[in-house]
Protein backbone atom coordinates (compact mmCIF):
# COMPACT_ATOMS: atom_id res chain seq x y z
CA UNK A 1 0.00 0.00 0.00
CA UNK A 2 2.72 2.52 0.73
CA UNK A 3 3.66 3.24 -2.85
CA UNK A 4 5.92 5.80 -1.35
CA UNK A 5 6.41 8.42 -3.94
CA UNK A 6 9.34 10.58 -3.19
CA UNK A 7 8.50 12.63 -0.19
CA UNK A 8 8.11 16.34 -0.26
CA UNK A 9 9.71 17.53 -3.44
CA UNK A 10 9.22 21.02 -2.13
CA UNK A 11 11.82 21.47 0.54
CA UNK A 12 11.63 23.18 3.88
CA UNK A 13 9.19 25.62 2.45
CA UNK A 14 5.94 24.69 4.02
CA UNK A 15 7.05 22.68 6.97
CA UNK A 16 6.71 24.33 10.28
CA UNK A 17 4.72 27.35 9.33
CA UNK A 18 1.51 25.95 10.65
CA UNK A 19 -0.65 27.14 13.49
CA UNK A 20 -3.60 28.80 11.99
CA UNK A 21 -5.07 29.26 15.40
CA UNK A 22 -2.18 30.27 17.54
CA UNK A 23 -4.27 32.75 19.44
CA UNK A 24 -5.09 31.64 22.94
CA UNK A 25 -8.17 29.65 23.84
CA UNK A 26 -10.58 32.57 24.19
CA UNK A 27 -10.80 34.28 20.85
CA UNK A 28 -11.30 32.87 17.41
CA UNK A 29 -10.82 34.58 14.06
CA UNK A 30 -13.88 36.51 12.95
CA UNK A 31 -14.30 34.64 9.72
CA UNK A 32 -13.27 36.91 6.82
CA UNK A 33 -14.39 34.13 4.58
CA UNK A 34 -13.45 35.29 1.09
CA UNK A 35 -10.55 34.05 -0.94
CA UNK A 36 -7.70 36.53 -0.71
CA UNK A 37 -6.89 35.94 -4.34
CA UNK A 38 -10.13 37.17 -5.69
CA UNK A 39 -10.34 39.88 -3.06
CA UNK A 40 -7.25 41.70 -4.09
CA UNK A 41 -5.87 39.95 -7.05
CA UNK A 42 -2.56 41.66 -6.69
CA UNK A 43 -0.65 43.27 -3.88
CA UNK A 44 -1.42 40.82 -1.18
CA UNK A 45 1.38 38.45 -1.37
CA UNK A 46 1.10 37.55 2.21
CA UNK A 47 2.02 33.97 2.05
CA UNK A 48 0.82 33.15 5.49
CA UNK A 49 -2.59 34.59 4.89
CA UNK A 50 -3.03 32.61 1.73
CA UNK A 51 -1.81 29.48 3.31
CA UNK A 52 -4.32 29.82 6.05
CA UNK A 53 -7.01 30.41 3.50
CA UNK A 54 -6.07 27.15 1.85
CA UNK A 55 -6.30 25.30 5.11
CA UNK A 56 -9.58 26.86 5.98
CA UNK A 57 -11.01 26.02 2.60
CA UNK A 58 -9.86 22.47 3.06
CA UNK A 59 -11.51 22.30 6.44
CA UNK A 60 -14.77 23.50 5.03
CA UNK A 61 -14.69 20.98 2.27
CA UNK A 62 -13.76 18.18 4.62
CA UNK A 63 -16.62 19.26 6.81
CA UNK A 64 -19.10 19.08 4.04
CA UNK A 65 -17.97 16.10 2.05
CA UNK A 66 -15.46 14.29 4.16
CA UNK A 67 -11.78 13.83 3.62
CA UNK A 68 -11.90 11.15 0.98
CA UNK A 69 -14.65 12.75 -0.99
CA UNK A 70 -12.80 16.01 -1.24
CA UNK A 71 -10.33 16.33 -4.06
CA UNK A 72 -7.63 18.91 -4.17
CA UNK A 73 -9.30 20.21 -7.27
CA UNK A 74 -12.33 20.92 -5.15
CA UNK A 75 -10.31 22.92 -2.70
CA UNK A 76 -8.59 24.78 -5.48
CA UNK A 77 -11.92 25.52 -7.12
CA UNK A 78 -13.33 26.84 -3.87
CA UNK A 79 -10.46 29.29 -3.77
CA UNK A 80 -10.76 30.04 -7.47
CA UNK A 81 -7.26 28.84 -8.00
CA UNK A 82 -5.69 25.91 -9.74
CA UNK A 83 -4.42 22.80 -8.08
CA UNK A 84 -0.70 23.53 -8.37
CA UNK A 85 -1.32 26.71 -6.48
CA UNK A 86 -2.64 24.72 -3.59
CA UNK A 87 0.42 22.54 -3.75
CA UNK A 88 2.47 25.66 -3.65
CA UNK A 89 1.29 26.29 -0.12
CA UNK A 90 0.93 22.79 1.14
CA UNK A 91 2.96 19.73 0.38
CA UNK A 92 0.14 17.22 0.08
CA UNK A 93 -3.35 16.33 1.04
CA UNK A 94 -2.36 14.54 4.16
CA UNK A 95 -0.61 17.59 5.49
CA UNK A 96 -3.74 19.56 4.79
CA UNK A 97 -5.74 17.31 7.03
CA UNK A 98 -3.05 17.45 9.63
CA UNK A 99 -3.06 21.23 9.67
CA UNK A 100 -6.80 21.28 10.09
CA UNK A 101 -6.46 18.90 12.95
CA UNK A 102 -3.85 21.00 14.65
CA UNK A 103 -5.87 24.12 14.16
CA UNK A 104 -8.78 22.41 15.86
CA UNK A 105 -6.97 20.90 18.77
CA UNK A 106 -4.63 23.72 19.63
CA UNK A 107 -7.14 25.73 21.66
CA UNK A 108 -8.01 22.67 23.68
CA UNK A 109 -4.40 21.99 24.45
CA UNK A 110 -3.93 25.58 25.49
CA UNK A 111 -6.92 25.32 27.78
CA UNK A 112 -5.56 22.13 29.27
CA UNK A 113 -2.23 23.69 30.04
CA UNK A 114 -3.82 26.75 31.43
CA UNK A 115 -6.03 24.67 33.68
CA UNK A 116 -3.00 23.40 35.51
CA UNK A 117 -2.12 26.90 36.59
CA UNK A 118 -5.48 27.81 38.00
CA UNK A 119 -6.14 27.36 41.64
CA UNK A 120 -9.87 26.75 41.59
CA UNK A 121 -11.24 23.38 42.66
CA UNK A 122 -10.59 20.72 40.08
CA UNK A 123 -14.19 20.48 38.98
CA UNK A 124 -14.18 24.10 37.98
CA UNK A 125 -10.92 23.69 36.12
CA UNK A 126 -12.29 20.66 34.38
CA UNK A 127 -15.39 22.54 33.39
CA UNK A 128 -13.27 25.26 31.91
CA UNK A 129 -11.40 22.73 29.82
CA UNK A 130 -14.58 21.06 28.70
CA UNK A 131 -16.00 24.40 27.72
CA UNK A 132 -13.13 25.07 25.38
CA UNK A 133 -13.29 21.52 24.20
CA UNK A 134 -16.90 21.81 23.22
CA UNK A 135 -16.37 25.08 21.46
CA UNK A 136 -13.43 23.70 19.54
CA UNK A 137 -15.38 20.69 18.37
CA UNK A 138 -18.15 22.95 17.17
CA UNK A 139 -15.67 25.15 15.34
CA UNK A 140 -14.91 24.98 11.68
CA UNK A 141 -12.03 22.62 12.40
CA UNK A 142 -13.97 20.43 14.75
CA UNK A 143 -14.86 17.84 12.20
CA UNK A 144 -11.31 17.49 11.00
CA UNK A 145 -10.00 17.31 14.49
CA UNK A 146 -12.39 14.63 15.48
CA UNK A 147 -12.17 12.55 12.36
CA UNK A 148 -8.50 12.75 11.68
CA UNK A 149 -7.75 9.08 11.93
CA UNK A 150 -4.63 7.07 11.85
CA UNK A 151 -6.22 5.15 9.03
CA UNK A 152 -5.93 8.07 6.68
CA UNK A 153 -2.54 9.31 7.69
CA UNK A 154 1.02 8.18 7.49
CA UNK A 155 2.49 6.68 10.62
CA UNK A 156 4.39 9.85 11.38
CA UNK A 157 1.39 12.12 11.22
CA UNK A 158 -0.67 9.57 13.01
CA UNK A 159 1.86 9.52 15.79
CA UNK A 160 1.72 13.25 16.19
CA UNK A 161 -2.00 13.24 16.34
CA UNK A 162 -2.14 10.46 18.83
CA UNK A 163 0.31 12.25 21.04
CA UNK A 164 -1.74 15.42 21.04
CA UNK A 165 -4.94 13.58 21.68
CA UNK A 166 -3.34 11.66 24.46
CA UNK A 167 -2.13 14.83 26.08
CA UNK A 168 -5.68 16.03 26.31
CA UNK A 169 -6.92 12.72 27.56
CA UNK A 170 -4.31 12.61 30.25
CA UNK A 171 -5.11 16.16 31.20
CA UNK A 172 -8.74 15.31 31.72
CA UNK A 173 -7.93 12.23 33.70
CA UNK A 174 -5.60 14.20 35.89
CA UNK A 175 -8.28 16.76 36.58
CA UNK A 176 -10.69 14.02 37.48
CA UNK A 177 -8.23 12.50 39.90
CA UNK A 178 -7.50 15.85 41.45
CA UNK A 179 -11.18 16.51 41.77
CA UNK A 180 -11.69 13.24 43.56
CA UNK A 181 -8.93 14.22 45.94
CA UNK A 182 -10.13 17.71 46.68
CA UNK A 183 -13.65 16.41 46.98
CA UNK A 184 -15.12 18.41 44.14
CA UNK A 185 -15.73 15.42 41.90
CA UNK A 186 -17.69 12.29 42.52
CA UNK A 187 -15.71 9.09 42.85
CA UNK A 188 -15.32 7.49 39.46
CA UNK A 189 -13.01 5.61 37.18
CA UNK A 190 -10.94 8.41 35.63
CA UNK A 191 -10.21 6.54 32.44
CA UNK A 192 -13.76 5.63 31.60
CA UNK A 193 -15.10 8.95 32.71
CA UNK A 194 -12.61 10.80 30.57
CA UNK A 195 -13.61 8.65 27.63
CA UNK A 196 -17.25 9.38 28.23
CA UNK A 197 -16.75 13.11 28.50
CA UNK A 198 -14.49 13.40 25.51
CA UNK A 199 -16.71 11.11 23.49
CA UNK A 200 -19.82 13.11 24.15
CA UNK A 201 -18.04 16.28 23.17
CA UNK A 202 -16.33 14.82 20.14
CA UNK A 203 -19.61 13.64 18.84
CA UNK A 204 -20.85 17.17 18.62
CA UNK A 205 -18.96 17.44 15.38
CA UNK A 206 -21.22 14.83 13.86
CA UNK A 207 -24.51 16.55 14.32
CA UNK A 208 -23.48 20.16 14.57
CA UNK A 209 -23.12 20.58 10.84
CA UNK A 210 -26.69 19.58 10.30
CA UNK A 211 -28.44 21.56 12.95
CA UNK A 212 -26.58 24.64 14.02
CA UNK A 213 -29.44 25.96 16.05
CA UNK A 214 -27.15 26.55 19.00
CA UNK A 215 -23.78 28.17 19.23
CA UNK A 216 -20.78 26.16 20.23
CA UNK A 217 -20.68 27.90 23.58
CA UNK A 218 -24.31 27.11 24.26
CA UNK A 219 -23.80 23.48 23.45
CA UNK A 220 -20.77 23.29 25.65
CA UNK A 221 -22.77 24.77 28.49
CA UNK A 222 -25.64 22.35 28.03
CA UNK A 223 -23.29 19.40 27.98
CA UNK A 224 -21.46 20.53 31.06
CA UNK A 225 -24.66 20.75 33.00
CA UNK A 226 -25.49 17.22 31.91
CA UNK A 227 -22.10 16.00 33.01
CA UNK A 228 -22.36 17.73 36.32
CA UNK A 229 -25.61 16.38 37.52
CA UNK A 230 -25.99 13.09 35.74
CA UNK A 231 -29.29 11.35 35.28
CA UNK A 232 -30.22 10.46 38.81
CA UNK A 233 -32.36 13.18 40.33
CA UNK A 234 -30.86 15.08 43.19
CA UNK A 235 -32.81 15.54 46.36
CA UNK A 236 -32.30 19.30 46.50
CA UNK A 237 -34.00 19.82 43.22
CA UNK A 238 -33.53 23.57 43.13
CA UNK A 239 -31.02 25.36 41.00
CA UNK A 240 -28.23 24.71 43.42
CA UNK A 241 -26.17 21.57 43.42
CA UNK A 242 -25.55 22.18 47.06
CA UNK A 243 -27.29 19.03 48.25
CA UNK A 244 -26.95 19.08 51.99
CA UNK A 245 -27.79 16.20 54.17
CA UNK A 246 -30.16 13.97 52.35
CA UNK A 247 -31.58 10.58 52.75
CA UNK A 248 -29.87 8.64 50.09
CA UNK A 249 -32.68 7.72 47.82
CA UNK A 250 -31.40 4.26 46.97
CA UNK A 251 -30.68 3.87 43.34
CA UNK A 252 -32.25 1.00 41.55
Partner DNA sequence: TAGGATGGCTACCCGTGAGTATGATGCATG
Partner DNA sequence: CATGCATCATACTCACGGGTAGCCATCCTA
- Residues 14, 50, 110, 220: which binds DNA (CB under 7 A)? 50
- 18 vs 221: CA distance, rounded Å: 30
- Residues 17, 34, 73, 182: which binds DNA (CB under 7 A)? 73
251 sits near a second copy (criterion: CB under 8 A): yes
Residue 84 site contact among a second copy, DNA, none (CB < 5 to 8 Å, cut-off depends on kind): DNA
Question: What is the nearest approach in angstroms of DNA to the Cβ of residue 69?
Answer: 7
- Residues 37, 88, 114, 124: which binds a second copy (CB under 8 A)? 124
Q: What is the DSSP letter of 32?
A: -
Q: What is the DSSP letter of 26?
A: S
164 sits near DNA (criterion: CB under 7 A): no
Q: Which region, judged by CB under 7 A, interacts with DNA, from 63-71, 165-173, 203-211, 217-225? A: 63-71
Other C-beta atoms lying within 10 Å of the C-beta of residue 118:
12
Q: Which region, judged by CB under 7 A, interacts with DNA, from 80-88, 195-203, 218-226, 227-235? A: 80-88
- 83 vs 72: CA distance, rounded Å: 6
- Evaluate whether 100 touches 139 at the Cβ level (below 8 Å): no
- Evaluate whether 185 touches 176 at the Cβ level (below 8 Å): yes
228 sits near a second copy (criterion: CB under 8 A): yes
Nearest 5°: CA angle at 142, between 30 and 138?
65
225 sits near a second copy (criterion: CB under 8 A): yes
Q: For a second copy, give the closer residue by CB, 90 or 224.
A: 224
C-alpha 67, offset from chain centre: 16
144 sits near DNA (criterion: CB under 7 A): no
Q: Which region, judged by CB under 8 A, interacts with a second copy, from 15-23, 26-34, 96-104, 225-233? A: 225-233
- 190 vs 129: CA distance, rounded Å: 15
Q: For DNA, give the closer residue by CB, 14 or 106.
A: 14
Nearest 5°: CA angle at 53, between 112 and 60?
75
Residue 82 site contact among a second copy, DNA, none (CB < 5 to 8 Å, cut-off depends on kind): DNA
Nearest 5°: CA angle at 127, between 124 and 131?
145
Residues 153-182 that bind a second copy (CB under 8 A): 179-180
- 206 vs 210: CA distance, rounded Å: 8
Size of site (CB under 7 A) for DNA? 29
- Evaluate whether 58 touches 75 at the Cβ level (below 8 Å): yes
C-alpha 117, offset from chain centre: 21
- Residues 123, 131, 135, 174: which binds a second copy (CB under 8 A)? 123
| Binding footprint of a second copy on the chain (CB under 8 A) | 64-66, 68-69, 123-124, 126, 149, 151-152, 179-180, 183-189, 192-193, 195-204, 206-207, 219, 222-223, 225-248, 250-252
Amino acid sequence: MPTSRRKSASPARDRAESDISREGPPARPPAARESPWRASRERLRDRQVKREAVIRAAAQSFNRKGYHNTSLDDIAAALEVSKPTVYYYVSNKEQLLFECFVAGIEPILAACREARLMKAPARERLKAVLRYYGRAVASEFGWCMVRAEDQDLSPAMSGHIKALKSEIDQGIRRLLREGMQDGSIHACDPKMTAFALAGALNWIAHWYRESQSLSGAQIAEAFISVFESGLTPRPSAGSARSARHVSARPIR
